[in-house]
Chains A and B, each alone.
Chain A
Amino acid sequence: MKPAGWAGIAAAGFLAALSLGTLAVVAVRAESGAGFGPADLAAIRFTVTQALASAALSVLLAVPVARALARRRFAGRGLLITLLGAPFLLPVIVAVLGLLAVFGRAGLVSSALAALGLPPLDIYGFRGVVLAHVFFNLPLATRLLLQGWQAIPGEHFRLAAQLGMTSRDIARRLERPMLRAVLPGAFATIFLLCVTSFAVALTLGGGPGATTVELAIYQAFRFDFDLGKAAMLALVQFGLCAGAALVAWMVAVPAAFGGGLDRPVARWDCHSLASRLADAAALALVSVFLLMPLLMVALSGLGGLADLPPGLWRAALRSVLVALASGALAITLALALAGAVMRMEVGAARFAGLLEASGYLSVAASPMVIGTGLFLVLFPLADPAALALPVTALVNAAMSLPFALRALIPALRDVERDYGRLADSLGMSGAARFRLLTWPRIRPAAGFAAGLAAALSMGDLGVIALFADADAVTLPLLLYRLMGSYQMAAAHGTALVLVVLSLGMFWLFDRGGRFHAAA
């Protein structure tokens, strides 16, 4: 086997150790394990219901938005795409405060209602959890679908125009087959993210009826120190995620659109007023929904800039370095894994599937269990505080890997299918093939993946909290400390700095990768 294959296997082994190995470590350390009570079963039921609703709503709403973005060209389109990605990258508490500033009892909508003599909105409860999850995940769904649209070569639309196809024909011949291929994966991804969600459900859930499995895991650690139960619940979470992934895999059918010349996509079918209005409405609505909370975060943050705490910029530098390391790690792991998957698909398809699955393990894992397992392994060997930053970079790279692979593997597959034989016949191989053929084509996917990893690790508060060094705080920790000591104004200012840096980081990577930028 070539070295690249071994690198992929090593990456897969590492990921399996990180998600399943840590679970095993926690389970081995457990002394007792209480069985599941009715509260745990209720938590499992709530988790699945809200995740199904959130994922379905996110994906359905994303279709018109992604279509509008795919077939319209307008000034500020690139900026809009970047900004629409923001909610996904926000630290949860910041996003919740932004959402409440718009939809809360004292928020903009309720104030407007009050002016009309109507009672305030009440978003707490199941609807609040779903609203927040849609806010977080609609942008991701839009991004995933947009990639699907962009994978249809411009030549197809050109041909469709020559054949006199209407929008409806194009939807039937091109867009629906694409959605059929892309939607199940997008749905499953968002379902998984909502399954492992934790803080959102608690703040907006309105009561203990809104308890997710991840919260039950947290409770098992903190309230009962019952490692056995925590491990069992983490297994249940794995089961739920594996089930969802399996269903998505069985439902999805690959769409093969073949190669193109990477011409800018032009559409001749959608000049009618009705279609223009529909697209404008979709974009306007989603912009208001996603950007208003962001704007509120920015506004209250500006007021807090005068109160920024000492140590903010040191914390910011630390966070940026962790984010850069995490982005680089994510790309390395993803390329190693994706490369090995491609290589094995030829001869050892089953093994390739296994390898690919290892990349998705982390999204199903409980961050609490990963953190605790790593702590148990590393504590006897080294000072946890000294490892806080490297571990944060590493775990977040692993956490963003599913997105990296979702973007990279299809891109690599397309390259091989469309240009592989040509490159073989030209005798292109090794570094030259990667540099001249592969890299230019997977750059957008790679940039997107690295940007995600960087931004996610920037906002991380899970792993770092367990390892934290009292003196080396990161921005999210600082934010939380401020909130924990009454200093809301300073917290708002810090949140703004965090949001700007996260978004900037994502933009830098993502921008570096987008080749459709010409369009």
Chain B
Amino acid sequence: MIRPFLNAAVLSLSLAPALAGAAMADEKPVLHVYTYDSFVAEWGPGPAVEHAFEAICACDLKFTATGDGAALLARLQLEGARSDADIVLGLDTGLTARAAATGLFAAHGRTPIVDIPNPHGEAGSWDDPLFLPYDWGYFAFVYDQTRLQEVPQSFEALIAAPKDLKIIIQDPRSSTPGLGLLYWVKAAYGDRAPDIWAGLQPHVLTVTKGWSEAYGLFLEGEADMVLSYTTSPAYHLIAESDDTKAAAVFDEGHYMQIEVAAMLAGSDQPDLAGQFLDFMLSDAFQSVIPETNWMYPAITPDGGLPEGFANPVSPDRALLLTPDQALALRDEALQEWLAALSR
């Protein structure tokens, strides 16, 4: 009995894409959205976004997911102009200067008013011609209130803390938060960044490939603090009714991550892609973000934010390098980090 079952299973697996392709041929245009992996998980924003957009677009929204933001850009560069992608969703402002230089993206022609702190211009304005924001957050060190009593309130305090206070960070070469921390230190301390890294070095328990490993180790109790987001405690509060996790607020201010989307210059569905970008900034998309992507929505939905999303960082403490600054400082900041932590 097992063999027919297996055969059927193999057949259905191998034919599934072909059959799906045939079903799609009934005139409905397809919008290809490339994004990072956690966006399309069954518990992520992907399913709700797909459902809501397909209800208004008379189209088929198809996600393609690869790794994280940086892997996404590498994938687009590998595919080049031949790519099927109409929209890429999931780069951040640390990557956009490099992304813009590929020439793969088209101007969106929109001037939205957003609820994102703007250290470089008028509050609420957004003037990137290629990329539109869909959510944002602050990097922060997250800790367990039942395990850590003396919480450092700044990088200097963290450096001065007892040697056995350990933090886990991510490698900037393989992780977006890891790169964010480089920019955080650079934005806060400029030329003093190497000293800060030298001071932090004894506290760094280990450096992981990505956020998942770092946060996993932290949850297992390996370290006192982990580099994550100010919104991380909200997950534990809302999804697990666990109020023991908190984000340390630093006096220097917090570096921001703004996640953005753009349409591809080579898209064969430019109108549909434009419609998706408008949808992305609408309530239907934005209200899904907090409790699926655990970030702040770019435009606060009418219903407000869920409990636990109260922002602990005031907007005048927001730190951010412009995309061009980020690109220009990247290699120097990395060399400083490598020199300090390779010891």
Contacts and interface: CB of A to CB of B under 8 A. Distances in A.
A101 B171 CA distance: 23
A311 B43 CA distance: 11
A483 B211 CA distance: 9
Contacts of B67: 465
Contact of A385 (B9, B17, B222): B17
Contacts of A218: 173-174
Chain B facing A: main interface SS: helix
B255 interface: no
A207 B207 contact: yes
B66 A105 contact: no
Contact of B40 (A42, A93, A101, A470): A470
Interface stretch (A144-152, A371-379, A411-419): A371-379
* Highest count of chain A CB atoms <10 Å: which of B9, B14, B174, B223: B174
A280 interface: no
B78 A105 contact: no
Contacts, number: 161
A487 B42 CA distance: 12
Contact of A466 (B10, B66, B207): B66
Contacts of A375: 78
Given A311-B42, A376-B78, A124 B205 contact: yes
A218 B77 CA distance: 15
Contact of A203 (B38, B44, B208): B208
Chain A facing B: main interface SS: helix
Contacts of B43: 309, 485, 487
A268 interface: no
* Highest count of chain B CB atoms <10 Å: which of A386, A466, A482, A486: A486
Contacts of A223: 70, 172-174
Interface in B68-101: 70-71, 73-75, 77-79, 82, 98
B78 A480 contact: no
Interface stretch (B232-240, B277-285, B302-310): B232-240
Contacts of A321: 6, 9-10, 13
A385 B63 CA distance: 11
Contacts of A117: none
B338 A208 contact: yes
A215 B64 CA distance: 25
A376 B213 CA distance: 29
Interface string A97-128: 10011001110000000000001000010001
A458 B27 CA distance: 38
A35 B64 CA distance: 34
A114 to B, nearest CB: 12
Nearest to A486: B235
Nearest to A199: B209
B342 interface: yes
Given A386-B17, A481-B41, A207 B342 contact: yes
A86 interface: no
Contacts of B37: 465, 468, 477, 480-481, 484
A384 to B, nearest CB: 9
A491 interface: yes
Interface in B26-45: 37-38, 40-44
A361 interface: no
Interface string A311-335: 1000001100100000000000000
B9 A486 contact: no
A55 interface: no
Contacts of A383: 17
A203 B206 contact: yes
A389 interface: yes
B159 interface: no
B137 to A, nearest CB: 14
Interface string A1-29: 00000000000000000000000000000
B255 to A, nearest CB: 18
Given A207-B341, A379-B79, A488-B219, A222 B206 contact: no
B204 interface: yes
A206 interface: yes
A515 interface: no
Contacts of A471: 63
Contacts of A205: 206-207
A170 to B, nearest CB: 46
Interface string B54-72: 0000000011111100110
Contacts of B223: 105
Interface in A380-401: 380, 383, 385-386, 389-390
B271 interface: no
Nearest to B232: A486
B220 A372 contact: no
B19 to A, nearest CB: 11
Given A222-B74, A321-B6, 20 more contacts: A93-B216, A100-B222, A101-B220, A106-B221, A128-B206, A199-B209, A203-B208, A203-B213, A203-B217, A206-B206, A318-B13, A386-B18, A469-B64, A470-B63, A481-B37, A483-B213, A484-B38, A486-B239, A488-B219, A491-B216
13 contacts: A100-B222, A104-B220, A105-B205, A105-B221, A203-B206, A207-B204, A208-B337, A209-B341, A225-B98, A321-B9, A481-B38, A483-B212, A484-B41
Give 3 closest A-B pairs by Cβ, nearest first: A106-B221, A483-B212, A386-B17
